[in-house]
Amino acid sequence: MYCIVDIETTGNGIKGNKITEISIFKYNGVKIIEEFTSLVNPECEIPSFITGLTGIDNNLVRNAPTIAEIAPKILSFTEETIFVAHSVNFDYNVIKNEFKELGLSFVRKKLCTVRLSRAVFPGYRSYSLGKLCSTLSIPLQNRHRARGDAHATVLLFQKILSTPNIEETVIKFLNARSQEATLPPSLPKSQYEKLPDKTGIYFFKNVKGEVIYAGKAKNIKKRVLGHFYDRSEKEIQMCRVTEQIDYELAGNELVALLMESYAIKHFFPLYNRAQKRKVPAYAIFHYEDRDGILHLAFNKIKNVPQPLTTLYSITECREFLEIICSDYGLCAKYCHLQEGVIHCTHFRVKQCDGICRGKESVNKYNKKVKEALEYIAHNKDNFIIREKGRDAKEDALVVVQDGQYYGYGFVPKETEVRSLEDIIAFVTPQKETLETKRLVTSYALKNQEKLIPFTN
């Protein structure tokens, strides 16, 4: 037994959505045997744009029953039936959330007529209810009203059930392991199945082919599936309009992060939030205390009039100072890696030559600090990061030239890398941004052994 359902709502997202009308047709696979249709008082304002679409306004539902009043009827009406709807996850989740607020459980097996239509009527440009009804000559009256759309879905479902071998298709779709009920309604299963379980980036695209979300993953297929299981409002809305998924392999996480950053800046996808906001910047600076000792320290860049170098997190600042401290024999206390101590005892920086214990002169210590300042001010790093490639036959390269991120590329594994000229033909130049600088700087600080220096 099936219950074909359609609802109209206030349109305030998934979790804030309130039902304004519901229509349910009980269908035995041959004919309609019972119907339940009702306006619903959402107990909140109905936005004017929703009224313009459905014709349902505040006055029309003023004396209608609330969802709490008709919930017992919906539960009994749909009991031991399969819940069928066009884009089933939307209707099902709105009802489930409404019931959850009432302290009621709503669990039914589901079938989506969008996904079923894709399987039995392949090749159509659109699988919206209106377009399908027009293409299949299904009468559709009172569009965007619950009863009109639900009745049209019944007629569509009848056509679906009349196609050859449909029993196997329905059984497959009802199988919890098939993922048919989990995938976005407009996304062909073949699009998901072609995704690799490798590191790279992926793109969610809408019906116009526009990138609406770009992400990176160590396992593309697993990460994409995670979006489909996510019940947050943003994820549900994004998946509803996803019609295509593309991907690019990266081979390793650093290149995947750089590719993702470029994609977000290039496409500015609707559902990406990260990297659209400003990244807080920090600066390394120096000062002299009352004893004449030169200090290295860090602070937010807005508080530093003459920054020596710019970094993008407190962790990066500390890692940078740890390297400088070790390379030039400086004191962790006077590099502000340890606060409130008499003598330095940093766990990653070897003990200094004694400035904090009175065993080294101020002049001698300051000379080392000035050498470090000279390095920070004038050294422009030129190095190549060699990382895992997209397959066993290649390596991935990330290039930093004159202290700036230059780009990334992929080279055959046997390629000898000694200079930029050796690999320039393989590298795709990229514009440095705050995010890419932060990514490369952070990686370089943590993976000194993977850097291949070259002379510019």
Name the nearest CA neighbour of 251 among 387, 389, 385, 384: 389
As annotated, the active-site residues are: 144
- d(CA 307, CA 283) in angstroms, rounded, equals 5
Query: For the chain, which residues make up each domain, given as ranges?
Result: 2-178, 189-267, 282-378, 383-453
At residue 179, the pLDDT reads 63
Structure-block tokens of residue 226: 């995670």
Residue 404 has pLDDT above 90, yes or no: no
At residue 181, the pLDDT reads 67
User: Are β-strands 309-311 and 282-288 bridged in parallel, bridged antiparallel, or unpaired?
Assistant: antiparallel
- d(CA 229, CA 244) in angstroms, rounded, equals 17
Residue 452 has pLDDT above 70, yes or no: yes
Top CATH class of 189-267 equals alpha beta
Q: Work out the average pLDDT over 202-210.
A: 94
At residue 237, the pLDDT reads 86
The pLDDT mean for the chain works out to 90
Least confident of 275-289, 341-355, 387-401: 275-289
At residue 177, the pLDDT reads 63
Establish whether domains 2-178 and 189-267 are of one fold. Answer: no
At residue 442, the pLDDT reads 85
Cα end-to-end span (Å), the chain: 74
**Residue 419 pLDDT grade (very low, low, confident, very high; cuts 50, 70, 90):** confident
- d(CA 105, CA 409) in angstroms, rounded, equals 52
Q: How far is CA 399 from the centre of its chain?
A: 27
* CATH (residue range 2-178): 3.30.420.10
Q: What is the pLDDT of residues 148-203, one digit of tens each?
A: 999 999 999 999 999 999 998 898 888 766 666 678 888 888 889 999 999 999 99
